[in-house]
Structure 1
């Protein structure tokens, strides 16, 4: 190549690559559109309400038709709740509840409380404890005290407390008594839920139940006292102050029951006791506030409105 040709080649501009048209950026999809954000309630609220209404309808039908059906509803809840608690204990901590004595004894507690009252309930509970002691012999020495303690706890926590709900319906005005009990617990839960979601800022027991707030407890107390006054005066011809005390006592008891079950689940490191009820968890997750409240209802209604 001649010097002139080389110089001409150097003077030529370098080829320019064709520009690639810019691709417009795809806007990021908000996280909320990929999956619905969790509500402050932590549950599917519409589904939770639907399940609650279905359960309430079943209880009302049993009360307004044949009262013995309500005892059957209690007995079924006791069986499922006892099994859920025993299963949770075994899966989380390898604690082996003597399930058959607890299940059979639990049914005996509920059904014997109808004709024989407290005597039938106490006799069935004592026999259940004895049966648990003997049944566990087959498991040997290792873990005997641990398993026996859990078995007695299960028998006392679920069927023993639930039997007081069955005893509420035994007397002539038993349907009204059960309705007072259930209305109070439902109003306490609803008032606490609404106030907690709307105004909850100060945790009541942060380690045990982070979502439970003092504002929610105040909502439960207001709803419970109003419901207590209305239910006792309208359904049982009680005094307004009796209804107020009844409502306040049941709100406190139901809250304690809720915290106790939350503490058990925290200890076992589980979210729910079971998965039978959509958006609720297990049956035990619905019985937590009802079980201790049934005992207090039975005691206070016998005191305020003797039969």
Structure 2
């Protein structure tokens, strides 16, 4: 989730990407982060309700939700890369990404790893032959390196969000993960808008502030401490630790996407979600956070 949504860890009080010329004044429906705030809130509530209902009623539906989100996000990223003449193999990347997500259901981490390796191999062959047997591909090494990055960045990291529900009571793990991310986002946005004065990483995200980062820490630690204690009935120290690592990984996830978009000269990866940008603009902090949540809870519970 990049800085351009009211509930993103990087949205401590601004947007990312290139901004030529003076910034326009915010309108009544526009947040300080430069987004349509009512639309962003409505979309966020709708997505949250979908997740909650699915996890309560049929937890395995979570595989379908994550799979659909990753397929769309992969298409968005591949489209943006192709606009910059970076030819990632879209079809094997999207299909392989689904294998990475879904094979975690019957085979766990072994299925995820095997599907990821097969996806990388299929993309290597596809890109090698996509212009025919008599034409050597241009920029092959660059394109495949970026393809492997995208495969790891999206489906591989997302697979840990689905691996959570394979545990007994795993839907509760997902709730803890989602609530921790939302608390970090809301705390960062609120503190950044109200108090943000000291830029954190101005070269990558000019309006990301240390005050917003502190707000993320406070909210995420409190939220994770409460959810780990009340939902998982576990040691509150685990919750406090989880809150800290969620803020760190979420912030780094935001910065990674911000830098990718800055390299590509774009503001958003897509336009599917009003007030948020694309699906990928909603997932940037969630992807690494899913991995660390799975890691912390698997190791300590």
- Same fold judged by TM-score > 0.5? yes
Instruction: Give how far 1:226 is off.
Output: 0.3
What is the aligned partner in structure 2 of residue 87 from structure 1?
Answer: 79
What is the aligned partner in structure 2 of residue 123 from structure 1?
Answer: 114
Aligned length: 273
What is the aligned partner in structure 2 of residue 61 from structure 1?
Answer: 53
Q: Which moved further from structure 2: 163-172 or 130-139?
A: 130-139
Which segments of 5 or more consecutive residues in structure 2 lack a partner in the other structure? 1-23
Instruction: Give how far 1:142 is off.
Output: 1.4
Where is the helix percentage greater, Structure 1 or Structure 2? 1
* 1:164-203 superposed matches below 5 A: 164-203=160-199
What is the aligned partner in structure 2 of residue 16 from structure 1?
Answer: none
What is the CA deviation profile of residues 242-265 of structure 1, one whole-angstrom value per residue up to 9, with x for unaligned ones?
A: 110111111111011011100100
Pick closer, same or farther for the CA change 1:143–1:196 going to 2, 3 Å: same
1:45 has 2:41 as partner: no
Instruction: Give how far 1:38 is off.
Output: 5.1
3-state SS of 2:266 partner: coil
Report if the CA contact (8 A) 1:204-1:214 is conserved: yes
RMSD over aligned Cα atoms:
1.5
Instruction: Give how far 1:204 is off.
Output: 0.7
Distance in 2 of aligned mates of 1:268 and 1:41: 21
Report if the CA contact (8 A) 1:78-1:162 is conserved: yes
Q: 288, 291, 295: which one pairs with 2:287? A: 291
Q: 65, 72, 96: which one pairs with 1:105? A: 96
Distance in 1 of aligned mates of 2:197 and 2:147: 38
Higher relative contact order (CA 8 A, sep 6+): 2
Instruction: Give how far 1:141 is off.
Output: 3.0
3-state SS of 1:238 partner: coil
What is the aligned partner in structure 2 of residue 272 from structure 1?
Answer: 268
Distance in 1 of aligned mates of 2:279 and 2:218: 27
Distance in 1 of aligned mates of 2:173 and 2:266: 35
3-state SS of 1:62 partner: helix
Pick closer, same or farther for the CA change 1:32–1:42 going to 2, 3 Å: closer
What is the aligned partner in structure 2 of residue 19 from structure 1?
Answer: none
Report if the CA contact (8 A) 2:225-2:237 is conserved: yes
3-state SS of 1:280 partner: coil
Report if the CA contact (8 A) 1:238-1:304 is conserved: no
The runs of at least 4 consecutive aligned structure 1 residues that moved more than 6 Å come to none
What is the CA deviation profile of residues 111-134 of structure 1, one whole-angstrom value per residue up to 9, with x for unaligned ones?
A: 001111110000000000110111
Report if the CA contact (8 A) 2:192-2:208 is conserved: yes
What is the CA deviation profile of residues 167-220 of structure 1, one whole-angstrom value per residue up to 9, with x for unaligned ones?
A: 011111101100000000000000000000000000111121112100000000
Instruction: Give how far 1:39 is off.
Output: 3.7
What is the CA deviation profile of residues 15-50 of structure 1, one whole-angstrom value per residue up to 9, with x for unaligned ones?
A: xxxxxxxxxxxxxxxx989x6585422111111111
Distance in 1 of aligned mates of 2:273 and 2:244: 29
What is the CA deviation profile of residues 29-86 of structure 1, one whole-angstrom value per residue up to 9, with x for unaligned ones?
A: xx989x6585422111111111000000111111011111111000001100111111
What is the aligned partner in structure 2 of residue 241 from structure 1?
Answer: 237
3-state SS of 2:166 partner: coil
